[in-house]
């Protein structure tokens, strides 16, 4: 039993860019019989608002975190069969939609990264500011923990994880320090890892930023295969969208946002060969971008909800490709 068992999910979580998400999804979600997938259900804040705003909407909510599904389930119970919750990673979106009895969807929302629930529960090990077991699994029912990665990964793999997923300039130094430390004692708690990183960091760098921030991000991405999952999930979600269907995607770090930007740019570009006098219908873009670049939270939301500070929102609408 967790500390949240007797608490209301709505009190634990403030959805990021809620009104903007509702505005972007409204033309698709307001159609009678519309189906929208919340691919990152979390504690159900965005889903609740969508279901309230559109009485004819069916919402399919996905999450790999069983505790999030339980809390969101309580929150969305009043919507009955209009809310279909599925224990799944979001690259399993096509299977989840088919299992719910649909072939196409009208909208999809991704709110990427680690959830408020995971950050706030110290025992999950996501936060470097609190000492806890180094777990970091979004789905605690399966997979390798961060402690297990640190225990068995060779130095080269650790360095690559920190470089690729954390963009950490001191990756090699940190990997060496972890290998040396684990030879003395297993690294099983976040506090231990923070101490190792602090000791391995030059004083000048320690004064500029917390040494653990990028390493913890990298470990979390590695443990949950976040980037490889996202690379599969975005194309799968876009393929499911019906004509005039809309996708809204919020990323919180540059690696995620680059993947999203690349996929949306590719789908919203003409495939006509250079010099072709007339663009044939099959070469027209599949999607139309709904945002100019990435949209940010305004100053008021950043002040009220610090987790909105790094958000980058992108959105697109299907304009060709399916009947």
CATH number at residue 294: 3.40.50.150
Asked which of 189, 224, 259 is the last residue of a domain, the reply is: 224
63 carries a ligand binding annotation: yes
Which residue has better confidence, 116 or 183? Answer: 183
Residues 109 and 32 in one domain: yes
192 carries a ligand binding annotation: no
pLDDT at 11 over 60: no
Average pLDDT, the chain: 90
Residues 132 and 207 in one domain: yes
Structure confidence by residue, pLDDT tens digits, 39-59: 999 999 999 999 999 999 999
Residues 201 and 189 in one domain: yes
Residues 240 and 301 in one domain: yes
Residues 218 and 128 in one domain: yes
Asked which of 169, 194, 224 is the last residue of a domain, the reply is: 224
Query: Residue 196: which CATH number?
Result: 1.10.150.170
Asked which of 208, 224, 240 is the last residue of a domain, the reply is: 224
Residues 215 and 231 in one domain: no
Which residue has better confidence, 127 or 202? Answer: 202
Q: What is the number of domains present in the chain?
A: 2
pLDDT, position 275: 64
111 carries a ligand binding annotation: yes
pLDDT, position 284: 87
Residues of the chain with pLDDT > 90, as a percent, come to: 74
Structure confidence by residue, pLDDT tens digits, 272-317: 676 666 666 666 899 999 999 999 999 999 999 988 999 999 999 9
Q: Look up residue 319 and give its two tokens.
A: 């304009």
CA distances from 139 to 40, 83, 145, 212, 322 (A): 13, 21, 10, 23, 34
Strand partners, 60: 37, 84
Given a contact cutoff of 8 angstroms between Cβ atoms, the answer to whether 316 and 267 are in contact is: yes
Asked if residue 3 belongs to a domain, the reply is no
Side-chain half-sphere of 52: how many Cα atoms within 13 Å?
Answer: 11
Asked if residue 2 belongs to a domain, the reply is no
pLDDT at 4 over 50: no
128 carries a ligand binding annotation: no
Residues 288 and 171 in one domain: no
143 carries a ligand binding annotation: no
65 carries a ligand binding annotation: no
298 carries a ligand binding annotation: no
Structure confidence by residue, pLDDT tens digits, 133-177: 999 898 887 789 999 999 999 999 999 999 999 999 999 999 999
Q: Which domain range does residue 243 map to?
A: 9-117+226-318
Residues 215 and 303 in one domain: no
């Amino acid at each position: 039993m967790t500390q949240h068992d007797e608490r209301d999910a709505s009190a634990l979580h403030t959805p990021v860019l809620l009104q903007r998400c509702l505005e972007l999804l409204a033309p698709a979600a307001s159609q009678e019989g519309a189906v929208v997938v919340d691919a990152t259900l979390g504690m159900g804040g965005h889903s609740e608002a969508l279901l309230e705003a559109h009485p004819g909407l069916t919402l399919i909510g996905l999450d790999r975190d069983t505790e999030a599904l339980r809390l969101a389930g309580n929150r969305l119970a009043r919507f009955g069969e209009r809310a279909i919750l599925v224990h799944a990673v979001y690259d399993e979106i096509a299977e989840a939609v088919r299992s719910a009895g649909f072939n196409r969807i009208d909208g999809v929302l991704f709110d990427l990264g680690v959830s408020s629930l995971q950050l706030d529960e110290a025992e999950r090990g996501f936060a470097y500011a609190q000492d806890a077991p180094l777990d970091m699994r979004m789905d605690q029912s399966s997979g390798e923990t961060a402690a297990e990665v640190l225990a068995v990964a060779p130095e080269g793999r650790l360095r690559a994880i920190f470089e690729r997923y954390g963009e950490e300039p001191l990756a090699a130094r940190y990997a060496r320090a972890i290998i040396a430390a684990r030879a003395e004692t297993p690294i099983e708690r976040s506090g231990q890892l923070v101490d190792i990183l602090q000791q391995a960091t030059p004083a000048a760098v320690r004064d500029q930023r917390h040494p653990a921030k990028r390493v913890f991000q990298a470990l979390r991405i590695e443990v949950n295969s976040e980037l490889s999952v996202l690379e599969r999930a975005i194309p799968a979600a876009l393929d499911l969208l019906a004509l005039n269907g809309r996708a809204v995607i919020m990323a919180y770090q540059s690696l995620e946002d680059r993947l999203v930007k690349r996929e949306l740019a590719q789908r919203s570009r003409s495939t006509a060969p250079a010099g072709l006098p007339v663009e044939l219908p099959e070469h027209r873009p599949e999607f139309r971008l709904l945002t100019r670049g990435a949209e940010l939270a305004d100053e008021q939301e950043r002040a009220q909800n610090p987790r909105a500070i790094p958000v980058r929102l992108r959105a697109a609408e299907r304009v060709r490709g399916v009947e």
